[in-house]
Amino acid sequence: MIDMTAADGVSGDARVRSNVVRLAAAQALTGANAAVIFATGSIVGATLAPSISLATLPISVYVLGIAAGTLPTGAISRAYGRRVAFIIGTGCGTLTGLLGALAILRGSFALFCCATFLGGLYGAVSQSYRFAAADGASAEYRPKAVSWVMAGGVLGPQLVQWTMDVWSPYLFAFSSWRKPSLR
């Protein structure tokens, strides 16, 4: 156990507050990732899949990505620290967007499924954000730190709504670039 004075707790909370803002923003972005995948995954899947029966496979692959990424996230965090795990997760999130856009533009169902798997890995990493916010915070600030990060997750789907028509002919910035043709 670490002995802290009140002054140490206040100065430590200033550092934690800046981390909480970053973690809340990261949580919002991963929430947007999940919202886009769940809202458009089966629509895009129906458009790209070789058979309509595979339309929801991208969403299932996303869930598999979360399951596959949970334990490795913990192992990476223990071995190298949470920062490294968060950077790797952010890389997966970036690749999700790039591969997803490329898959839609190329009409590749397999590539789209790979993108949603990476989105799941990104989602798995985000499950640790609230714990990172609580670490290092004083006992008094800890509930607020966790609440702010969790609130970021609520903001994520709203980000999707605010930005869905930024590139007007391509709703959701590539996510539904054409109307699905149900075969």
Is 107 in contact with 50 (CB distance < 8 Å)? no
pLDDT value at 163 more than 60: yes
Per the model's pLDDT, the better-predicted residue between 132 and 156 turns out to be 132
Supply the pLDDT for residue 170. Answer: 54
pLDDT digits (tens, 9 = 90+) for 45-93: 998 999 999 999 999 999 999 999 999 999 999 999 999 999 999 999 9
- Three-class secondary structure assignment of the chain: CCCCCHHHHHHHHHHHHHHHHHHHHHHHHHHHHHHHHHHHHHHHHHHHCCCHHHCCHHHHHHHHHHHHHHHHHHHHHHHHCHHHHHHHHHHHHHHHHHHHHHHHHHCCHHHHHHHHHHHHHHHHHHCCHHHHHHCCCCCCCHHHHHHHHHHHHHHHHHHHHHHCCCCCCCECCCCECCCCCCC
Tell me the percentage of the chain whose pLDDT exceeds 90.
39
pLDDT value at 11 more than 60: no
Residues 136, 139, 141, 144, Cα dihedral to 10°: 100
Is 158 in contact with 27 (CB distance < 8 Å)? no
Per the model's pLDDT, the better-predicted residue between 161 and 29 turns out to be 29
Spatial neighbors of 127 by CB under 8 A, at least 6 apart, are 70, 73
Q: How far apart are CA 97 and CA 103, in angstroms?
A: 10
pLDDT band at 4 (very low <50, low <70, confident <90, very high): very low
Tell me the percentage of the chain whose pLDDT exceeds 70.
81
pLDDT value at 3 more than 50: no
pLDDT value at 142 more than 70: yes
pLDDT band at 10 (very low <50, low <70, confident <90, very high): low
Is 170 in contact with 177 (CB distance < 8 Å)? yes
Supply the pLDDT for residue 57. Answer: 97
pLDDT value at 6 more than 70: no
Per the model's pLDDT, the better-predicted residue between 31 and 79 turns out to be 79
